[in-house]
Amino acid sequence: MSPDVHPTLGVFASDRGPGDVDRASLMSQVGSFLARKGARLVCLADGGAVPVPLLTSARTAGATVTLITAEDYSEPSAFEGVTVEHVPDREARLARVAALSQIYLALPGSLASASSLYLSWVRGGGGAGRKPVVFFDHHDAFKVVRGYAADIIANSIPNHDRYVQFATNVDDMWNKISWLVDQGATAL
């Protein structure tokens, strides 16, 4: 990937980060790493679930970060420098994340973040929308999805690797993102 290319990643992370040391640490590591690589991040705050460690570490490291949230959300002072867009209804928030994202990044999380990822992907046009998903498969968090991709998707969709990738560490994650950009798999 050219050093001039700075993809916008729709990041779907655990809504339990602040209460879960391992996930909070992982989100902080990913946020600062992506910022150093020049990525722009878009995150969804839904139902009070906000990936605070991801946002604060990315912003502190210099990333452009956008948070899409409900109208009644009041952002904490720790989000200084984060662009917060207040969007009235959930469908419109999902569509906004889809509109801003070029690649989706799934971090280990909750069923709520997985559901939001899927719904945003659909709002973004699914596979035809040219917005692939990179799953950060930390501690086999996406083992079932990975198995489905290997057994079903790989055998039924040509060039399936341009739609879905799995990474095991942050360097591998960035390599997958770069590869997708280089292959023209995104609408960059």
| Domains contained in the chain, number | 1
pLDDT, tens digit (0-9, with 9 covering 90-100), for 130-147: 899 999 999 898 999 888
| Mean pLDDT (whole number) for 28-38 | 97
| 24 belongs to a structural domain | yes
| 110 belongs to a structural domain | yes
Which residue has tokens 């198995």? Answer: 147
In the DSSP assignment, the letter for residue 46 is: B
Res 1 pLDDT > 70: no
Which residue has tokens 């209804």? Answer: 89
| Mean pLDDT (whole number) for 6-10 | 95
Residue 147: strand, helix, or coil: helix
Lowest mean pLDDT among 3-7, 48-52, 175-179: 3-7
Res 16 pLDDT > 70: no
Q: If pLDDT is split at 50, 70 and 90, which confidence band does 15 have? A: low
Q: What pLDDT sits at residue 116?
A: 92
Res 17 pLDDT > 70: no
Q: What pLDDT sits at residue 112?
A: 85
Parent domain of 164: 8-181
Can you give the pTM of this predicted structure?
0.93
| 93 belongs to a structural domain | yes
For residue 124, give the CATH number of its domain: 3.40.50.450
| Mean pLDDT (whole number) for 47-66 | 92
Q: How is 86-142 classified by DSSP, letter by letter?
A: E-SSHHHHHHHHHHH-SEEEE-S--HHHHHHHHHHHHHTTGGGGT--EEEE-GGGTT
| 22 belongs to a structural domain | yes
| 162 belongs to a structural domain | yes
**CA-closest candidate to residue 107, choices 36, 35, 178, 9:** 9
For the chain, give the mean pLDDT.
Answer: 90
| 1 belongs to a structural domain | no
pLDDT, tens digit (0-9, with 9 covering 90-100), for 104-125: 999 988 888 889 999 999 999 8
For residues 158 and 143, give the distance between their C-alpha atoms in angstroms, rounded to a whole number: 22
CA quadruple 68, 71, 74, 80: dihedral positive or negative? positive
| 76 belongs to a structural domain | yes
Q: If pLDDT is split at 50, 70 and 90, which confidence band does 18 have? A: low
The sheet that has 40-44: what strands, in order across it?
83-86, 65-69, 40-44, 8-12, 103-106, 133-136, 164-167
| 107 belongs to a structural domain | yes
